[in-house]
Amino acid sequence: MADAESCFTTSPTASLHNSTRENIIDLDHGDPTMYERFWRQMGDKTTITIPGWQSMSYLSEGSNICWFLEAEFATEVVRLHNVVGNAVTEGRHIVVGTGSSQLILAALYALSSPDAAEPISVVSAAPYYSSYPSMTDYQKSGLYQWAGDAENFDKEGPYIELVTSPNNPDGYRRKSMVNRRQGLLIHDLAYYWPQYTPISSPSDHDLTLFTASKSTGHAGMRIGWALVKDKEVAKKMTKFIELNTIGVSKDSQLRAAKVLKAVSESCKEEKQENGGESFFKFSYKVMAQRWKQLREVVDGGDMFSLPQFSPAFCSFFGKETEPQPAFVWLKCEGDVEDCETFLRGYKIITRSGTQFGASPKYVRISMLDTDETFIQFIERLSAIQERE
């Protein structure tokens, strides 16, 4: 599978016969179906109707560098970051993308130079998001090239470092690992939202990526956005998307605007008397419950271990909170060398540590599936602990 959350047709379970599939718990992808419950409760609040004559032009109105950026969407991006306090938006150009996946490629294109003697190295500290190597190299670009683990990178000259914080797969907060001057940084903050990690301060980097897929759970909308300081970089990213898809679906941008607005409003309403629960409170509670259940099962035996996190003050919730990542970075302890194969033997489909540049003793498991699947997973893990 090329990536992560893409290419579901090549899922390891896709070829299995229906009857064999029955008991399979597939937590390989980070498909955020967990959030469906919240959005169902919201009823028609985020329903949109788009008449046939609307959104017909390639162009959007306004004078943005990103000429296909819908004003309504841009307004809601800024508003949500202000409500959450997770990113500085002042002095930034917004570039919208078909998911943050497209923006990763746009950023690599924008930060590399066509006149360079050789492709610029692209690095990220292991364990890194499993898609980075394949996204970087699948077109064998002459502009950039995957150069592996940032911690072992010692080549002189310019390089691009992907900094993922909190990190996919292990959930830890990260800073740039290669401490050198010629580094161009892409901060992938897909998981810098209060349900996953304490919000310590607004991120303030040169190029930062966010996505609706992991913030609100609307992966199918395929909307991501970049906050870009440098005008020329924003222009080049826009050019990449122009060459790639001549813009980004306006229908999706309008829907995203509505969804982000609903999230911001849910935060405002929560503070009022008799106000409902905000999106982040809802999702924080679900994640807290899941991590608690998971830790109980794992601590109940010595087969597996989990990363340990320290609580920190979250400016959004106004109190100390625990990191509770979107993925479990589970380690098989003892004699089990290949954790992915071991769990597959119990029909739990996970992604091996090797795909993240790490040891096969680790696997990544999604925490964002439906309640039903998550409960099955916890029960099965508990049964393994009892049996082994």
Interaction residues for ligand PMP, span 140-169 (CB under 6 A): 164, 168
Interatomic CA distance for residues 236 and 381, integer angstroms:
47
User: Residues 29-68 vs ligand PMP: string with x where CB under 6 A?
Assistant: -x--------------------------------------
Pairing between β-strand 207-211 and β-strand 183-188 as defined by DSSP bridges: parallel
CA distances from 110 to 185, 304, 307 (A): 12, 42, 35
Do 366 and 326 contact (CB within 8 A), yes or no?
Answer: yes
- Residue 328's φ and ψ, nearest 5 degrees, are -95, 130
Interaction residues for ligand PMP, span 187-216 (CB under 6 A): 188, 190, 211, 213
The piece of 98-106, 289-297, 344-352, 362-370 that touches ligand PMP (CB under 6 A) is: 98-106
Comparison of 94 and 303: residue with beta carbon closer to ligand PMP: 94
Least Cβ distance, residue 225 to ligand PMP (angstroms): 9
CA distances from 156 to 140, 183, 262 (A): 22, 10, 47
Interatomic CA distance for residues 96 and 103, integer angstroms:
8
Tokens 């098989």 sit on residue = 332
Interatomic CA distance for residues 73 and 54, integer angstroms:
15
Least Cβ distance, residue 130 to ligand PMP (angstroms): 9
Interatomic CA distance for residues 346 and 20, integer angstroms:
12
User: Residues 268-297 vs ligand PMP: string with x where CB under 6 A?
Assistant: ------------------------------
Comparison of 301 and 307: residue with beta carbon closer to ligand PMP: 307
Comparison of 83 and 368: residue with beta carbon closer to ligand PMP: 368
Comparison of 30 and 323: residue with beta carbon closer to ligand PMP: 30
Q: Which two tokens stand for residue 4?
A: 């992560």
Least Cβ distance, residue 189 to ligand PMP (angstroms): 9
Half-sphere exposure of 221 (CA within 13 A, CB side): 28
The piece of 80-88, 94-102, 349-357, 378-386 that touches ligand PMP (CB under 6 A) is: 94-102
Least Cβ distance, residue 3 to ligand PMP (angstroms): 8
Helix (H) or strand (E) run with residue 184 in it: strand 183-188
Comparison of 112 and 164: residue with beta carbon closer to ligand PMP: 164
* Position closest to ligand PMP via CB: 99
The piece of 10-18, 50-58, 86-94, 99-107 that touches ligand PMP (CB under 6 A) is: 99-107
Edge-to-edge strand list for the sheet holding 304-305: 304-305, 327-332, 362-366, 351-352
Comparison of 196 and 342: residue with beta carbon closer to ligand PMP: 196
Interatomic CA distance for residues 295 and 290, integer angstroms:
9
Radius of gyration over every alpha carbon of the chain, rounded to an integer in angstroms: 21
Per rule CB under 6 A, count of chain residues that contact ligand PMP: 15
The number of beta carbons lying within 10 Å of the beta carbon of residue 187 is 25
The residue from 38, 68, 109, 129 that contacts ligand PMP (CB under 6 A) is 129
The piece of 50-58, 96-104, 234-242, 296-304 that touches ligand PMP (CB under 6 A) is: 96-104
Least Cβ distance, residue 215 to ligand PMP (angstroms): 9
Least Cβ distance, residue 364 to ligand PMP (angstroms): 10
The residue from 77, 94, 108, 219 that contacts ligand PMP (CB under 6 A) is 219
User: Residues 301-340 vs ligand PMP: string with x where CB under 6 A?
Assistant: ----------------------------------------
- Return the exposure string of 1-34: e unless at least 16 CB atoms fall within 10 Å of the residue's CB, then b: bebbbbeeeeeeeeeeeeeeeeebbbbbbbbbbb
The residue from 46, 86, 101, 324 that contacts ligand PMP (CB under 6 A) is 101
- Residue 238's φ and ψ, nearest 5 degrees, are -60, -40
The binding site for ligand PMP (CB under 6 A) comprises: 4-5, 30, 99-101, 129, 164, 168, 188, 190, 211, 213, 219, 224
